[in-house]
Amino acid sequence: MPLDVEEITGAELAPLEHRCTPQTFILYALGVGAGVDPDDLRFCYEGPPGLAALPTFGTVPSLSTALSLLRLRAVDVTPMMLIHGEQHLHILRQPPVPGSLITRSKVKGVFDKGTGALIEVESETRDGSGDIIYTNVLGTFVPGEGGFGGDRGPAAGNEPPDRDPDRVIEMATLPQQALLFRLSGEVSPLLHLEQEHASRAGYEKPILHGICTLGFAGRAILREFCDNDPRRFASVKARFSGHVYPGETLLTEMWDLGGGEIVFRVRTRDRGAVVVSNAVAFVTA
């Protein structure tokens, strides 16, 4: 079997350093669609009143852990077999702007989803003084590698309540969104840029990165429930349940459950496909 579940579990991945300049944060913000609304300027410009990081920038230091899995002896699969399935980000502090971030990661576990295996990697990202800035759990789905008799893991949860959403925000992605987003992180280009690979996987054309779509949703939550103040955005958890074609318009539907708990979902406006599900953010007053 291409995955040696016993050996993978607990495996440590090589630590990663991210040197973040103002450009790093700006490029990410533009990559997830910021910069159209004048209120976005603080995420896209280092001039007065000063640059801030979008909350979901916190997912960036963990992104290359999916590709790092391929360097483990116990993981004998190709990049095409790895699908970014889930992400869970906690933001403990605002990152230094500019500054360095160090990320240490290890495999938390491998769940047996039947149709595939879900490899969870947990990461801690610290600044130069050792303070934890972000923690992430990144779930990579490996189709066809389930059925090994392992734990299924917890149910996803965070289903929307049975009523209309409290807020719906519409945001357009750009036809060139994937080209722009990928400049922010070490993410596989294959399905996202190459027509041949996308076609082989059954898509009409290259698809947007799920974690990019999550950045759009994060901006919607930040605007609607945090008054655009990133310090009020504590965490976000989501499942990437469908594909987005760059250029599609996204609807982020949000339900305020009280106590700072915002359940949300992202659909493509024209196809109506649910692309981010089982999703929740926690915000503070």
Establish if 38 lies at the interface with a copy of itself (CB under 8 A). yes
Establish if 199 lies at the interface with a copy of itself (CB under 8 A). no
The answer to whether 246 and 177 have CB atoms below 8 angstroms apart is yes
Establish if 47 lies at the interface with a copy of itself (CB under 8 A). yes
Q: Strand order in 233-240's β-sheet?
A: 12-20, 99-112, 116-127, 132-143, 83-91, 233-240, 274-283, 261-268, 249-256, 167-172
Considering only residues 168 through 187, tell me which ones interact with a copy of itself, judged by CB under 8 A. 174-176, 179-180, 183
Establish if 78 lies at the interface with a copy of itself (CB under 8 A). no
Tell which residue, 208, 217, 211, has the closest CA to residue 168.
217
- CB hemisphere CA count around 52 (13 angstroms): 19
Establish if 270 lies at the interface with a copy of itself (CB under 8 A). no
Comparison of 72 and 174: residue with beta carbon closer to a copy of itself: 174
State the DSSP code for 96.
P
Comparison of 38 and 154: residue with beta carbon closer to a copy of itself: 38
Comparison of 34 and 91: residue with beta carbon closer to a copy of itself: 34
Part of the chain binding a copy of itself (CB under 8 A), chosen from 19-27, 54-62, 222-230, 263-271: 19-27
Query: What three-state secondary structure class fits 114?
Result: coil
Which of 100, 115, 195, 284 contacts a copy of itself by CB under 8 A? 195
Quote the crossing angle between the two packed helices 210-225 and 22-31, to the nearest 10°: 100
Tell which residue, 282, 279, 270, 217, has the closest CA to residue 245.
270
Part of the chain binding a copy of itself (CB under 8 A), chosen from 1-9, 36-44, 91-99, 132-140: 36-44
Binding residues for a copy of itself, rule: CB under 8 A, are: 23, 26-27, 30, 34-36, 38, 41, 44-45, 47, 174-176, 179-180, 183, 189, 193-195
